[in-house]
Amino acid sequence: MASSMRSLFSDHGKYVESFRRFLNHSTEHQCMQEFMDKKLPGIIGRIGDTKSEIKILSIGGGAELVAKTSNLENVKFAWHKETSSEYQSRMLEKKELQKWDFIHMIQMLYYVKDIPATLKFFHSLLGTNAKMLIIVVSGSSGWDKLWKKYGSRFPQDDLCQYITSDDLTQMLDNLGLKYECYDLLSTMDISDCFIDGNENGDLLWDFLTETCNFNATAPPDLRAELGKDLQEPEFSAKKEGKVLFNNTLSFIVIEA
């Protein structure tokens, strides 16, 4: 690895901008909204059958998506938002664990150091008939192939782990937890990555590799090999002249 390559997380402004480009060029939010509209009302409805109020714990964000879900007009929500480690520390200090009806963790487990322990802790907070929703990238996505083949060649950063639904379901199996997993196709248009000098493409490269200024600092052989792979069917689909990276998401619903 070239010594000049550094983690994208070392430059907060650059990370935020590359993430914004990702959202603008992907169907991530539309994919989540589809799940919230079609699947979530049934899940929440089953929880709320015997309750006048549903207590929801939102770990790491995503409350807006759930709040906007259609068909939930009759449900009264009690919200609580906090980061995973903040909440865990505070609850363990107080030595009293409040029970929740619905806990959701949307695209945040990559930033947790001990994932099995975190899953076990938050599962212990589920009340009767409660559910926990986790959204992560699918094991069938291009991210899985990208991280397995190239992860060791990108700058290592202890802020972020490469984890997909395959890893997560293995952890849930080991913990003996019951769950259902739904995959929904999402894509990211990475066509600009293959246009030299394209600013948008450069920022998408940074996001894909979690590397600050990847195009300018990566070894030429890594850049060429990755550029070729990203256009292969196991990573992306080609449609109407566009290269669409497979950003498929997994929605894992865990039983109390």
Question: Which single residue is written with the structure tokens 């066509």?
Answer: 191
User: In the chain, what percentage of residues exceed pLDDT 90?
Assistant: 62
Give me the mean pLDDT over the 17-43 stretch.
Answer: 92
**What does residue 97 show for φ and ψ, rounded to 5 degrees?**
-105, 110
Give me the mean pLDDT over the 139-164 stretch.
Answer: 90
In the predicted model, is pLDDT for residue 76 greater than 70? no
> What is d(CA 25, CA 112) in angstroms, rounded to the nearest whole number?
26
Predicted local confidence at residue 163, as pLDDT: 95
* 207 contacts 22 by C-beta, under 8 angstroms: yes
- pLDDT-derived band at 1 (thresholds 50, 70, 90) equals very low
Range name among 60-64, 109-113, 179-183 with the lowest pLDDT average: 60-64
Predicted local confidence at residue 61, as pLDDT: 64
Top pLDDT among 48 and 247 is at 247
- The per-residue b/e assignment along 110-124, b for 16 or more CB within 10 angstroms, e otherwise, is bebeebeebbebbbe
Predicted local confidence at residue 97, as pLDDT: 79
Give me the mean pLDDT over the 39-68 stretch.
Answer: 77
- pLDDT-derived band at 103 (thresholds 50, 70, 90) equals very high
Predicted local confidence at residue 53, as pLDDT: 79
Predicted local confidence at residue 69, as pLDDT: 60
Residue type at position 176: G
93, with CB counted inside 10 A (0-12, 13-18, 19+), is: exposed
Question: Which single residue is written with the structure tokens 């907070």?
Answer: 125
Give me the mean pLDDT over the 19-48 stretch.
Answer: 90
Q: Which two tokens stand for residue 55?
A: 């207590």
Mean pLDDT for all residues in the chain: 87
